[in-house]
Structure 1
Amino acid sequence: MRSAWRTLGLPLLCGLWLLPAGGRAEGASLFAQLMTPPGQHVARVTYPIEALVAQLRGQIAADGEPGDGLPLVLIPLGRSLQRHTAGAAHYFEAPRVVVAVTGEPPRTDRPLLRDRLYLGYHEAAGVLEVISYNDSAGRFDFEIVDDYRDGATPRLRAANRGLCLACHQNDAPIFSRQTWDETSGSPTVARLLAAAGRDFYGLNWRHGVDVANAIDDATDRANRLSLAQTVWQHGCASADRAAAVRCRARLLWRTLLDRLGSRSGGRLADDPALAPLAAHWAQHWPDGLPVPNPDIPNRQPFAATLPWQALPTDPAELRRIADVAERFDPLALRAPLGHWHADDAATLPNVIHALGQFIADVDITALDHALRGAAGMRAESLTLECTRRLRPAREDLDCQHASGLALSARHSADRLRVDRLVLGARPARAVPPFLRGADGRFHPAGPAPRTPDGAALRRIELTPDSIRILLTDDLGPLRAHLDRLVADTLAGHSDALADAPLPRAAVPAPLLPLP
């Protein structure tokens, strides 16, 4: 039986206006698009909350991380405007549910929701608050689902953005710093929630602080999206339009290489194609581009309760505890976490990493797969100098090459597990296992590791006498596609490299399928 709280609906504490009926399929937030059935123009928000969470879970791939791509916490004594809605005696019977999407899409035709969708549900208010990225606007939208309760028709509305930004000062989601003592990750809060005797919609809320930490990490990444958009849209601005377009093409090229696994560094001034960006940075951000701070102070609701004392349950005392002291108020101005300076060696890698958040893992897997079969690629075979040690169930390999390449791996049966791989000056990131193919050689089970120049390590061949690797320059089709994007943008046939927001769809769509 549904709780009686779902029959209560109180007026919202911020001004709202109804989203227009038209334009849902284009120009709407990711959440609005997800909730709008094909061929219709009005969102139909899934109810109840457990059904909505299940729907979101169907949009992401399980990743084994805390929360399995959909971390969720309960916050009974938080800092939401709706925290008093249930009444002082019922904070732990009707806590706020906070959900973040951190999972990757399972296929290229699914939306990229990772770090881009956050829900806050309060049953007593019959309200679902939504922070959802809007690709066409290049920012987060703040939305509210009104009448989100039994017997009603939920309505998606846009919140008063100005009011929301008083706390969400970076136009993006916020969350508390560790140790997240307001959440169900706190043993004290979890004990009082359990004592309320509710199952809380069948949601999986019993866990440690690792799940709250996953939400905190997601909001940190989400706030970098605005930095990426700022650099993409405005950083390459130049009176020479062709130079501006080529600057964005260079950023996209370096971002794609980075996501494909090619590690390279350098400063802005080291790349001639990024000269417009270096000039704009010096003129408009001479003190550095500020890195937004999404972290509000951690608050311990029961900090005044000594270990040997009983936790307060009196409604008047709980009401007092629910009041937020000024030093914990989300309205307090937050200084930037730091600044990205043009002459800092970490700035360009930071920019590239932030832009890489607009490309899903499945997009990179599909791109790598397409490049694997590219015609006319150049290949180079290298014979490695190796020390080989036989173990009872495996062979350990420690190999080097005069070029600086280094490989440490464990070979067992049909699998080669790479423990360390150096391609160029730095170790490669997240090297996939190599599996024996039909040809008897070992091939990467995921996107191939790459050298700083982008050459892919496509094959490792083991024989009793030697170990050889195959590097291929398979990026010719990708270069050709980017050249076409430049030409199409300059001709006005595309805005992929124009001074418009960078959406995820604009990245893989022009590049796949490759010829």
Structure 2
Amino acid sequence: MKRVWRWIGLLVVVAGCLFWLLQPKNDANIAELVHSTKAPAGSVSTKVIPQTDLPPEGTRSLFDHIIAQNDGLPYPYDKLVKLIQDQNPNGEMPINILIPDGRSLLKGLADYKHPRSLIAADFEQKNKAGGLGLRPRGQLFMGFVENAREIEVLSYNEAAGRFEFQLVQNYCAGCVPRIVYAQRAICTTCHQGAGPIFPQRPWNETNAQPDTAEAIRIARGGAEKYLSLPISNVLASPDRFDQLTDEGNFINVTQRIWLDGCGLNGNECRRTLLKLALLYRDSPGSFDPEQPLAKQLQKLQAVNYPKQGIAVPESDIFNRDPLGERRGFKGWWHKLTSRDIKLGEGAMNNEDLDAFDRLPKLQARLDPLSQRPPKQTLSANDIDGVYGVAALFSSSDIDQLSEAVNYQPSAYLAKVDALPNEVFVAKPVSRVALMRALLGQGTNYCCLSTKEMSPPQASGVPPLKVKKHAILKDFEDHCFACHRGNPSKRLNFMGGADEDAVLASIKDKSEIRDALDWERYTGTEKANKLMPPRDSIQYEELIDAGKSGQDALKRMREAVPSLFGF
């Protein structure tokens, strides 16, 4: 009998080994995937919404607008989180998650002591007299890995009708951060729908699972927070984060339906789509998807709808349980067949592809690099574009529109019929543009104009290395963090391609002398104009530096000509 059990045990071990050996492995090489990326066929949407790294001219990301309008990028990270929180009318924290053992390009730099921090905006502001409120729900996501000194930002570009992939590089104490646009082809190897992605439930790799949260807490010496975010979380947080990524992902699908589903000359199709979207948004419960107007939309879509349909990209990746992978037979086999990743291995930034490729591969089903089939493929008979366009409007938008039609839903149809044909030409569908067309006056919006913004910067462009003009080293240490690379043109007065240009720009700004004259203005009504700002890390460093800090102030002040040349 013992021999029988011995044979059974041996068979179990052999079966287990065969199971793991036969598991599909992912041989995807990210460097090859990036270089093999091809632009999709010439549909209307690909012509109207280019997939360039930098945003289309005259447009910028929501993140850029928020940073520009708040005088620059806050540091440290808790101040950036607070900035997003302060935009929320209810003052609530953004949805937040910690992932110590994840699947991003920077996974080799995160661990249980320094987990990757994810936040997502989940609010909409009310419209006020003269303007539309901000609506970043499902349109603004950030991921920060402290050891990589880099924030990955995914935010919507209202004017261009696409999400922008950005990086905040060199984000650390005493550093000069750079806000740049990432190489889109790298990002879309995982973000295959060019929008946000997130794991499926039960989200074992996040701090919403007690075991993961406890491992983070132990690694951080019993702390309850990390980067101002709670170490223990509830499942409602990843659940809501998942919903927001799904909403964001469908915005890109909505753009395709609006453009490709209706076609280059499908103005009447888009007009009908807007009518139905307003009817649905006004009263979802009473909306009839079989009504005659919906049948009319299906007929109009049938004229130009792509024969292969419009795919809804899969934004959900399979749940992964990193702690579970280390337990029992599974953990034994994992240790036997792979090596532990040491902190610091792998990519140091989003462009270090070779280093990322040297990390152990995940199973194909768990790896976001693996091609994912679409959630579904829409046809001309589907009216999902109605729900997509409806979702672009805020509750406050609908309140305003309802008031404008005297709370008569049928009046929406007449109002849309009265809009000029140019509203429905083949260009990205925009909540702001539609509200302006429907209401006219009183629809100013915070986040469209780029006239007061500095030019967007591409990743891969090296930062300024101070060699020629020694005085620039003081400005680099104490001023560049806010005044070089700032999305606000007004505050970007230390920008420039080389040292000569930067120094010339500084000398052209005579106000700098007063802003650095602490001796004269400290304790006066002009004290709030002194630089660096009192709540900045640069100010703290100058104070801590004592006499050497005062000497630096003097050198910088003397580098700028006085208002009068005598």
Q: TM-score over 0.5 for the alignment?
A: yes
Cross-structure match for 2:94: 70
Report the counterpart of residue 44 of structure 1 in structure 2.
Answer: 72
SS of alignment partner, residue 137 of structure 1: coil
Q: How does 1:135-174 map to 2 (within 5 A)?
A: 135-174=158-197
In structure 2, distance between residues paired with 1:148 and 1:268? 55
Aligned pairs for 1:421-500 (under 5 A) are: 473=408, 475-476=410-411, 478-487=412-421, 489=422, 496-500=423-427
Partner of 2:290: 266
Please state if 1:203 is matched with 2:223: no
Amino acid at match of 1:265: P
The answer to whether the 8 Å contact 1:145/1:155 transfers is: yes
Q: Secondary structure at the match of 1:511?
A: helix
Distance 1:160 1:247 in 2: 35
Q: Does 1:504 align with 2:431?
A: yes
2:324 is paired with a residue whose SS is: coil
Residues 326-341 of structure 1: pairs in structure 2 closer than 5 A: 326-327=363-364, 328-341=366-379
1:257 equivalent to 2:285? Answer: no
Query: TM-score of the superposition, structure 1-length normalised?
Result: 0.64
Answer whether contact 1:18 1:156 (CA < 8 A) is retained: no
Counterpart Cα distance in 1 of 2:292 and 2:116: 45
- Partners of 1:170 and 1:237 lie apart in 2 by 20
Counterparts of 1:233-248 in structure 2, within 5 Å, are 233-237=259-263, 241=265, 244-248=266-270
1:384 corresponding residue in structure 2: none
Cα offset, 1:482, TM superposition: 2.2
* 1:70-469 → structure 2 map (5 Å cutoff): 70-85=94-109, 91-107=111-127, 109-195=132-218, 196-197=220-221, 198=223, 199-237=225-263, 241=265, 244-261=266-283, 262-266=286-290, 271-272=295-296, 275-281=299-305, 284-285=306-307, 287-306=308-327, 317=340, 319=342, 323-327=360-364, 328-343=366-381, 347-348=382-383, 350-372=384-406
Shift in alpha-carbon separation, 1:168–1:309, aligned structure 2, 3 A: closer
Identical counterparts, % of pairs: 28
Q: Distance in 1 between matches of 2:274 and 2:238?
A: 33
SS for the counterpart of 2:114 is coil
RMSD: 3.5
Change (3 A) 1:363 1:204: farther
Give distance in 2, aligned partners of 1:305 and 1:325: 14
Partner secondary structure for residue 124 of structure 1: helix
Measured in 2, the distance between the counterparts of 1:225 and 1:273 equals 19
Q: Is the 2:258–2:385 Cα contact (8 Å) retained in structure 1?
A: no
Query: Higher strand share goes to which structure?
Result: 1
* Alpha carbons 1:371, 1:514 under 8 Å: kept: no
| CA displacement at 1:248 relative to structure 2 | 1.1
TM-score (norm 2): 0.59
Q: Report the residue type matching 2:78 in the other structure.
A: E
Which structure shows the higher helix fraction? 2
**Alpha-carbon distance in structure 1 between the residues aligned to 2:208 and 2:102:** 13
CA-CA distance at 1:269 after TM superposition: 9.1
Alignment match, 1:446: none
Report the CA distance shift for 1:80/1:153 in structure 2 as closer, same or farther (over 3 A).
Answer: same
- Tell me the SS of whatever aligns to 2:190: coil
Q: 1:113 to 1:268 in 2, by over 3 A?
A: farther
SS in 2 for 1:508: helix
Alpha-carbon distance change, 273 to 221 in structure 1, aligned in 2, over 3 angstroms: closer
The verdict on how the C-alpha distance between 1:81 and 1:272 changes in structure 2, with shifts beyond 3 A counting, is closer
* Separation in structure 2 between the aligned mates of residue 69 and residue 250 of structure 1, nearest angstrom: 38
**Local SS of the residue matching 1:106:** coil
Distance verdict in 2 for CA 1:508–1:213, change over 3 Å: same
Distance 1:260 1:124, change over 3 A: same
8 Å contact kept, 2:261–2:380: no
- Judged with a 3 Å threshold, the aligned counterparts in structure 2 of structure 1 residues 79 and 268 are, in CA distance, closer, same or farther, namely farther
The superposition leaves residues 232-263 of structure 1 with CA deviations (integer Å, 9 ceiling, x where unpaired) of 1222226xx4xx22221111111111111151
Q: Give 1:123 deviation, angstroms.
A: 1.0
Q: Which residue of 2 aligns with 1:392?
A: none
Q: Assess, with a 3 A threshold, how the Cα gap between structure 1 residues 293 and 273 changes in structure 2: closer, same or farther.
A: closer
Confirm or deny: 8 A CA contact 1:246 1:273 kept in the other structure: no
- For 1:45 and 1:19, the matched residues in 2 are separated by 19
Structure 2 residue matching 1:509: 3-state secondary structure: helix
Query: Using CA pairs below 8 Å that are at least 6 residues apart, which structure has the higher relative contact order?
Result: 2
Whether the aligned pair in 2 keeps the contact of 1:112 and 1:504 (CA below 8 Å) is no
1:111/1:270 CA distance change after superposition, 3 Å: closer
Which structure 2 segments of 5+ residues have no match? Answer: 1-30, 36-51, 346-358, 443-566
Contact residue 96 and residue 123 of structure 1 kept, 8 A: yes
Q: Is contact 1:268–1:278 with CA below 8 Å preserved after alignment?
A: no
Q: Give 1:127 deviation, angstroms.
A: 0.7
1:105 Cα deviation after fit: 2.4
1:69–1:104 Cα contact (<8 Å) kept: no
1:31 has 2:31 as partner: no
